[in-house]
Amino acid sequence: MSQAVEQLNNLYQYLQRLYTQAPALHGASRFQPACEQIAPKFCQFYQQQPALLQAQLALSSAAHPPIANLAMKQAVLILILAQHGGWPLALQEQLLSASFAGLSGLTPDMFSADFAQPQLLQDPWLLTMRRYQQQLPAVWLQLFASCCRLRQQAPIWQQNPLAAVLVLVYQLSYPLVQPATAGKVGFETLFRQLWRQANPVNQQLLTLLSQTGSTLFQLGRFCSDSIGVVAFITDAEPALTGYLFDLNLKSLGATATELTGSGLQLLPPKVCHDPAWLTLLVRRATDVLETADPEPMSLALIQQLNPEWPVSRQVSFLQTHPAFCQLLCQAASQLSRQHTAITDVRHALALIGTEQLPLLLRQSWLAQQIALCAQPWREWFSELEQVFQQALTLLAQQTKTIDISVPQTRLLAACVSLQLQQHDELRHQPLYRDAWPAQSLATECRKLLWQHPDCLQQIAQLLAATGFGLLWQDAMLQFRSPVGMQAGYSQQQSAQLFIQFGWTLTELYFFGSATTPAQLETLYKNARHALDLPAVPLSECLQQLTQHCAAFWPLQPKL
């Protein structure tokens, strides 16, 4: 047995022990750590042997119980989704451990052909909550409750958005081990069935899965010409290849053969009794560092660019970093009159101006970091960021007491948005759920900015990293501290009021109310005096912001 096959077998054995010992582990408060301990091993093994793991969708292990096979297939689908969705490692591990835990309420007899209530298996999360409600952590209880509600067609915006992933991978995996359908239907059949009835979120997820191509349902499958030729598929793309098996001699071909155009028909998934078949799927172990995507850009690289350099040297620097060139050309295209596609770096640089280049690259770096967060509600956060940026821009255009440009307001708003999206717990929040207490993304954002002990410090660090001076860093650190009425205001107090009032306008517009309504009038009077704003009612300020914004709350997460 090869080392890779042995590692795969160890994963199966761990899952088998996990469910065999589930009651005892739950009772000893050790089940959650056990799930969280195995998740990184799956991520690492998928990096090294993706083909071997993907083939587990077609090959069920005869040496391990159905529940271990089910957990394995769910894990494979989550890892494929994560690969194509660009999900961060922490999110992958969260979903894997939750998927393992969600099956702990199932018992071996439920997988027998004569089980009296097969309909119970349509909702394993309900069984798990009923059995282990007192032992499960709150985040899993909320996640599994959302899974149950999604099964009942409840709106996705009222649920934990990650529940959609768990529900989908279970619906795709369970029929592959269920006695009534195991060995009779292939993954492609289940995929088509779910696609026909998929809601927008499931369509997103199924589209991510489809990026794997025919590998998703052909790898690890047998095919035959119904006469005597059988082949085991070991590669589906770029060409269908596999090993021919002589039924008469009971022998396997020495080398893989291209199977395209041979008239072979795909057979239903099989149970793998002999690990020797798995060795045919082993690839050269890939180092995790080899498969890691290089960071498109970094702040250290951006800081190397000197705006005082001659244009020719700046162009030369940019051309050695293709990611910079691409972002520069995209930004220049937006500035052109007809949004014409620009591909020449010199042309792009002439449109943008060398003095604006470092600021533009910092904005692009922030946008890149936001994308890497893979926040399910990132479109909602994008709308929030735009409103905040418009509020800051409105104030920047009216004040003469502090110096901040429109591009800098974009940078400041993006720093706040990035910090909110980096907060792990916000991935699990519904957009709005009228529970007790009510849950909403807006409420959690308020708590972060107004109560979380480290949030302001981390935003200030982002401001420092993106070129803001101590004035703005200190202003952000004092965000929660009210500024009293006084005859004169320091630059730091003016900057503090600039951020406070800009965010308050954002709350009024985007959330519908301010977090500190009792201080609203005092804040406005202070901001008006410190920033020398026009003497108009607060309602008119809000109306001016409304004229510049067309924000909305997207009701569907994006995974």
Closest to 375 (Cα-Cα) out of 447, 427, 418: 427
37 has a pLDDT exceeding 60: yes
Residue 213 within any structural domain of the chain: no
174: number of Cβ within 10 Å: 21
Residues 394 and 528 reside in one and the same domain? yes
Residues 227 and 131 reside in one and the same domain? no
What pLDDT digit, counting tens, does each position of 289-342 carry?
444 444 556 788 888 878 788 888 888 888 887 777 887 888 888 777 777 888
| Confidence at 287, pLDDT banded by 50, 70, 90 | low
255: number of Cβ within 10 Å: 7
What pLDDT digit, counting tens, does each position of 532-557 carry?
999 999 999 999 999 988 899 999 99
The values of phi and psi at residue 362, to 5°, are -65, -40
**Residue 292 has what pLDDT?**
46
20 has a pLDDT exceeding 90: yes
Look at 32-36, 107-111, 333-337, 513-517 and tell me which has the smallest mean pLDDT: 333-337
* Domains held by the chain: number: 3
User: Last residue of some domain: 238, 261, 286?
Assistant: 286
13 has a pLDDT exceeding 50: yes
Residues 52 and 131 reside in one and the same domain? yes
Residues contacting 14, CB < 8 A, separation 6+: 38, 41
Mean pLDDT of 477-481: 96
**Residue 528 has what pLDDT?**
95
Query: Looking at per-residue confidence, does 354 or 506 come out higher?
Result: 506
Mean pLDDT of 495-522: 95
Alpha helices in 55-115 (DSSP H): 66-85, 89-101
Residues 392 and 529 reside in one and the same domain? yes
Residues 173 and 267 reside in one and the same domain? no
127 has a pLDDT exceeding 60: yes
Residue 331 within any structural domain of the chain: no
User: Last residue of some domain: 239, 263, 286?
Assistant: 286
Instruction: Give the CA-trace dihedral at 144, 150, 154, 160, to 10 degrees.
Output: 50
31 has a pLDDT exceeding 60: yes
Residue 330 within any structural domain of the chain: no
User: Last residue of some domain: 159, 178, 208?
Assistant: 208
**Residue 316 has what pLDDT?**
87
Residue 216 within any structural domain of the chain: no
| Confidence at 286, pLDDT banded by 50, 70, 90 | low
Distance separating alpha carbons of residues 52 and 55, to the nearest angstrom? 5
Residues contacting 409, CB < 8 A, separation 6+: 389, 392, 393, 396
Residues 513 and 388 reside in one and the same domain? yes
Residues 103 and 155 reside in one and the same domain? yes
Residue 110 within any structural domain of the chain: yes
Mean pLDDT of 262-271: 86
| Confidence at 422, pLDDT banded by 50, 70, 90 | very high
532: number of Cβ within 10 Å: 15
Mean pLDDT of 259-287: 83
Residues 227 and 201 reside in one and the same domain? no
How far is residue 51 from each of residues 69, 78, 191, 497, measured CA to CA in Å? Answer: 17, 15, 19, 56
436 has a pLDDT exceeding 80: no
Write out the H or E segment, with its range, that includes residue 257.
Answer: strand 257-258
Mean pLDDT of 406-426: 95
**Residue 228 has what pLDDT?**
74
Residue 15 within any structural domain of the chain: yes
Rg (CA), the chain: 28
Distance separating alpha carbons of residues 356 and 182, to the nearest angstrom? 61
Residues 192 and 265 reside in one and the same domain? no
What pLDDT digit, counting tens, does each position of 143-166 carry?
999 999 999 999 999 999 999 999
Residue 438 within any structural domain of the chain: yes
Q: Mean pLDDT across the chain, nearest whole number?
A: 91
The region that residue 374 occupies, defined by phi over 0 for left and psi between -120 and 50 for alpha, beta otherwise, is left
Residues 110 and 83 reside in one and the same domain? yes
Q: Domain residues for 542?
A: 373-548
| Bridge partners of residue 233, in order along the sequence | 242
Residue 555 within any structural domain of the chain: no
**Residue 486 has what pLDDT?**
87
Residues 187 and 282 reside in one and the same domain? no
| Residue 310: cis peptide before it, omega within 30 degrees of 0 | no
Residues 38 and 155 reside in one and the same domain? yes
